[in-house]
Amino acid sequence: MTNPTTSTPSTPRRLLVTGASGFIGSFIVARGLELGFEVWAAMRASSSKRYLTDERIRFITLDLSDDTRLTSQLADHVTQYGPWQAVVHAAGATKCRCDDDFFEINTRGTERLVRALITTGALNGRLVFVSSLSVCGPLHEKDYAPITALDTPKPNTAYGRSKLQAEAALRSIQGLDYVVVRPTGVYGPRERDYFMMAKSIKSHVDFAVGYRRQVITFIYVADLVEAIFLALEKGRCGKAYALTDGGEYASRAFSDLLQKHLGVKHVVHIKAPLWVLKTVCGIAGTWAKWRGKTATLNGDKYKIMKQRNWRADISDAQKDLGYTPQYPLERGVEESVAWYKSQKWL
């Protein structure tokens, strides 16, 4: 799953990866090691190290919810090891019990981290922030034009607004060298939400919602990780880059490829009106909140799933970063399915 487009640094540099135990973060850690970085994986004390078994990984516990504790943790690190030359901030929440949790984790957590990095001198280089295409909201829903860097973001979800406010927090910090990446839907090994679709196809059922045309985009995790390291080296300070695999797909493309690579002969395709999805998401979200849990389906997820246009112009990433996607949807789904089978997920 490696990509040849990013060059290895001439001398080892220290890299901090937040959210290292997560789906995307664990792949960033692995790629950083391949590229010769001294990689520090930041995570909560309770987080799993299931995908962080390489003996070269260095670990640090960071509490992004507490300014005082976080500053102390970073100051201790600087005293003992010195600063990092690169930081990738991939920690964040995609599902929360209530809207404010998104802003506490994604917005205020980001601001705390960056200010503490600066205050303690723990960052001596560039930070790449992993945002989301969701910050743009449902733009060009009528004409299906691609979202471009010239468009004014109009997020319609708490998740999107929290990420956009985090980007604004970065802009407000004078002298910060940072780059933002905004990936579309990220899939691949270890990811759970798209895996649920694979399980459904395996059970011979494909469920979709909405009758109006939908154009969707994807990015395989390895392509996203490659773009992150390109942004560390080549990105323009303060710029946000939209990231997809360069393709544009009909709503059934992903499920059809899952069916092909799973070898499932017959699938019942069920398409329901949006009000059904809205009802299901509302019930699931309320039930989860009552139980003190997060739900895969909720009000935010409904707004994301009903969006009809996910096209994005990635020409800036191609021009500035030299970003060249290596995983069109066909290849990415094939590798994902092979991993699901090898790990006995299916």
First-residue to last-residue Cα distance in the chain: 21
Asked whether residue 294 is assigned to any structural domain, the reply reads no
pLDDT in tens, 93-151: 998 888 899 999 999 999 999 999 999 999 999 999 999 999 999 999 999 999 999 89
Asked whether residue 198 is assigned to any structural domain, the reply reads no
- Domain CATH number, residue 159: 3.40.50.720
- Which pLDDT score, from 0 to 100, does residue 6 have? 54
Asked whether residue 174 is assigned to any structural domain, the reply reads yes
- Which pLDDT score, from 0 to 100, does residue 9 have? 46
Asked whether residue 258 is assigned to any structural domain, the reply reads no
Alpha-carbon distance of 170 to 173, in angstroms, equals 6
Asked whether residue 41 is assigned to any structural domain, the reply reads yes
Tokens, residue 111: 């601001």
- Domain interval for residue 133: 14-191+216-248+309-327
Alpha-carbon distance of 131 to 206, in angstroms, equals 29
pLDDT in tens, 175-218: 999 999 999 999 999 999 999 999 999 999 998 888 899 999 99
Looking at residue 73, its amino acid is Q
- Which pLDDT score, from 0 to 100, does residue 291 have? 80
Cβ-contact 24, 223 below 8 angstroms: no
**Predicted confidence (pLDDT) at residue 22 exceeds the cutoff of 50:** yes
Alpha-carbon distance of 330 to 257, in angstroms, equals 7
Strands 14-18 and 123-130: unpaired
Asked whether residue 106 is assigned to any structural domain, the reply reads yes
- Tokens 């990509």 correspond to 3
Asked whether residue 33 is assigned to any structural domain, the reply reads yes
Q: Domain count for the chain, please give it.
A: 1
- Tokens 């560390």 correspond to 232
- Which pLDDT score, from 0 to 100, does residue 4 have? 45
Asked whether residue 332 is assigned to any structural domain, the reply reads no
**Predicted confidence (pLDDT) at residue 227 exceeds the cutoff of 50:** yes
Alpha-carbon distance of 239 to 90, in angstroms, equals 17
